[in-house]
A = this chain, B = another copy of it.
Amino acid sequence: MNGESDEPARRRLSRAEAKARTRALLLDAAARVFARKGFTGASVEEIAETAGFSIGALYSNFGGKEALFLELLSHRQTDRIAEAAQTLDRHEPGTGEAAAELGRLLLDVADKDIDFAPLQAEFWLYAVRNPDVLDAMAANLRAPRQALEGVISTSLAQQGAPAEVSAEAVATVVAALFGGLVRQRRIDPASVPEELFGQALKWLFAGINAGTAPAATESE
């Protein structure tokens, strides 16, 4: 956009910089307020106030409450899944290291980032209630899901898992388990100790490999 912007020491923010900053602050505030009050429960006034701006600033940067929410839905949805994929990439799954690190990740998501899970739940509810948004959401999720799938596919090959085992299926199971455990931990933390997620993954991968040799009752 700008051709001659090489000035390092700029004390005052330019117009575009200031606008970008307010946009980002409004998005952060919106994420917090939507997570705490829900989409319908959140008011644009509270969002603007939380960000330190007025309602006018919000409507100057976004089309409205729904547009602001959809912006979050599109861009803040999938960070944590990619994180899990990277963690699995660094260590081989089925080992104690990967299990321990994934346990820590689950605690981070469930306990530290307390707005994350409720916001995801709001996204899911909104998508389920608005079919057009649902398609967009499924499309957004496909990329990080495939990243996870790739990592899992590699691991399965390394471990000598049966060829019939679909990496996509395993990725879906891992993601569903992660989300389910995060939610359960918010209700009853004691029932989801730090090691549980890693332990479950150990069981899962061990079971996949164990399925190679023995004659199963079913042929699929």
Q: Which residues from chain A sit less than 8 Å from chain B, CB to CB? A: 36-41, 95-96, 99-100, 117-118, 121-122, 124-125, 127-129, 134, 137-138, 141, 145, 168-169, 172-173, 175-181, 183-184, 186-188, 191-193, 195-196, 199-200, 202-211, 216-218, 220
Contact = CB atoms under 8 A, between A and B. Distances in A.
Q: Which 6 A-B pairs have the closest CB atoms?
A: A176-B180, A207-B207, A203-B207, A206-B207, A180-B180, A40-B41
A112 to B, nearest CB: 15
Please state the number of chain copies in the assembly: 2
A129 B118 contact: yes
A124 B183 CA distance: 8
B208 A191 contact: no
Contacts of A181: 172-173, 176
A148 to B, nearest CB: 12
A216 B203 CA distance: 12
A204 to B, nearest CB: 5
